[in-house]
Amino acid sequence: MKRSEQRRAAVIALYQHEVTGRPLEETLGQGAHPFTRSLAELAAAREDELDEFIARYSEGWSLERIAPLERSIMRVALAEMLHPDEIPAEVPIPAEGAIDEAVQTAKTFCGTQAPGFVNGVLAAVLREVRENGRPQRPPGERDRT
């Protein structure tokens, strides 16, 4: 299975977990690839942190107004962008690659406005990473590393 397919599987598992309330382990299934499992588990474990970044850069949109699938797409991309050392991969994907994968997933599964929105939020986080070395934690957010 290609990495792009594994990323999409992580997004779908995370999305199903959010909308159904079923345990992530169940939405992943027993046969989930280790990369898919690690990525989905990382995004779920760091959901609060990732959501803070999504909320910060989704100007004019509260986190609750963002469709659950779009949130899942951005959470997975941000997890891979911000914490590549926590995902088993021989070579981490460049941040631009994670953004491109997220935009492609949004094009496939979401409405017409979603790809631009996803790209804008993720690109803003990437700009912050490049300017500051790593994203600045939102006020009140404690460091989990």
Asked whether the whole model's pTM tops 0.75, one would answer yes
Sign of torsion, CA 24 49 128 54? positive
Residue 100: its pLDDT value, please? 96
Residue 141: its pLDDT value, please? 45
Residue 49: its pLDDT value, please? 94
Counting as low any pLDDT under 70, the low residues of the chain are 134-145
Residue 76 contacts residue 40 (beta carbons within 8 Å): yes
End-to-end CA distance of the chain: 31
Residue 91: its pLDDT value, please? 78
As its CATH architecture, domain 3-132 has: Orthogonal Bundle (1.10)
Residue 139: its pLDDT value, please? 45
Q: Please tell me whether residue 22 adopts helix, strand or coil conformation.
A: coil
The domains of the chain are located at 3-132
pLDDT tens digits, one per residue of 93-126: 889 999 999 999 999 999 999 999 999 999 999 9
Residue 137: its pLDDT value, please? 53
In the block, tokens 């406005």 appear at 113
